[in-house]
Chains A and B, each alone.
Chain A
Amino acid sequence: MAWTREQMAARAALELRDGFYVNLGIGIPTLVANYIPDGMSVTLQSENGMLGMGPFPYEGEEDADLINAGKQTITELDSSSYFSSADSFAMIRGGHIALSILGGMQVSGKGDLANWMVPGKVVKGMGGAMDLVAGVKRVVVVMDHVEKSGAPKLLTACTLPLTGARVVDLLITDLGVFDINRGKSPLTLTALADGVTLDEIAAKTEARFEVAL
Chain B
Amino acid sequence: MADKTQKSAVDALAGRLFDGMTIMAGGFGLCGIPENLIAAIRESGTKGLTVVSNNCGVDGFGLGVLLESGQIKKMISSYVGENKLFEKLYLSGELELEFNPQGTLAERIRAGGAGIPAFFTKTGVGTLVAEGKEVREFDGEMYVMERGLVADLAIVKAWKGDAEGNLVYRKTARNFNPMMATAGKTTVVEVEQLVPVGRLDKDNIHTPGIYVDAIVAGAKYEKRIERVTTRPREEKASA
Taking beta carbons and an 8 Å cutoff, which residues of A are in contact with B?
33-34, 46-50, 54-59, 61-68, 70-74, 76, 82-86, 88-90, 92-93, 112, 120, 123-131, 134-135, 161-166
Q: In the complex, are the beta carbons of B106 and A127 less than 8 A apart?
A: no
Binds A, one of B10-18, B66-74, B124-132, B210-218: B124-132
Q: In the complex, are the beta carbons of B179 and A84 less than 8 A apart?
A: yes
Q: How far is the CB of A52 from chain B (nearest CB, A)?
A: 12
Which residue from A86, A129, A164, A165 sits with its C-beta under 8 Å from B110?
Answer: A86
CA distance A122 to B78 in the complex (A): 14
Sampled A-B contacts (18; CB under 8 Å): A49-B28, A50-B172, A57-B231, A65-B32, A65-B171, A67-B226, A76-B171, A82-B172, A82-B174, A84-B175, A84-B206, A85-B176, A85-B179, A124-B79, A124-B80, A126-B129, A127-B101, A127-B102
**Which residues of the partner chain A approach B169 to less than 8 Å between Cβ atoms?**
82
Q: How far is the CB of A161 from chain B (nearest CB, A)?
A: 5
Which residue from A57, A71, A92, A125 sits with its C-beta under 8 Å from B31?
Answer: A71
Given contacts A67-B225, A84-B206, A131-B102, 16 further A-B contacts (CB under 8 A): A57-B230, A59-B230, A65-B173, A71-B30, A71-B31, A71-B82, A72-B227, A82-B174, A84-B175, A85-B106, A85-B175, A90-B107, A126-B101, A126-B102, A130-B101, A131-B103
CA distance A86 to B55 in the complex (A): 16
Q: In the complex, are the beta carbons of B228 and A62 less than 8 A apart?
A: yes
- Given known contacts A57-B231, A82-B171, A134 and B124 CB-to-CB distance under 8 angstroms: yes
Which positions 140-186 of chain B face chain A at CB distance < 8 Å? 159, 169-179
CA distance A88 to B54 in the complex (A): 14
**Which residues of the partner chain A approach B81 to less than 8 Å between Cβ atoms?**
124-125
Q: In the complex, are the beta carbons of A125 and B80 less than 8 A apart?
A: yes
Q: In the complex, are the beta carbons of B171 and A131 less than 8 A apart?
A: no
Q: In the complex, are the beta carbons of B109 and A125 less than 8 A apart?
A: no
Main secondary structure of the interface of A (DSSP, over half): loop
For the complex, count residues of B whose C-beta is within 8 A of A: 60
Which residue from B91, B107, B125, B170 sits with its C-beta under 8 Å from A123?
Answer: B91
Q: In the complex, are the beta carbons of B230 and A85 less than 8 A apart?
A: no
**CB of B233 closer than 8 Å to a CB of A:** yes
Which positions 75-99 of chain B face chain A at CB distance < 8 Å? 77-82, 87, 90-91, 97, 99
CA distance A127 to B101 in the complex (A): 6
Task: Find the A residue at minimum CB distance from B32.
Answer: A65
**CB of B223 closer than 8 Å to a CB of A:** yes
CA distance A128 to B110 in the complex (A): 16
Q: How far is the CB of A182 from chain B (nearest CB, A)?
A: 12
Which positions 224-238 of chain B face chain A at CB distance < 8 Å? 224-233, 238
**CB of B47 closer than 8 Å to a CB of A:** no
Q: In the complex, are the beta carbons of B231 and A55 less than 8 A apart?
A: yes
Q: In the complex, are the beta carbons of B230 and A62 less than 8 A apart?
A: yes
In this complex, the member of B101, B175, B230 whose beta carbon has the largest number of chain A beta carbons within 10 angstroms is B101
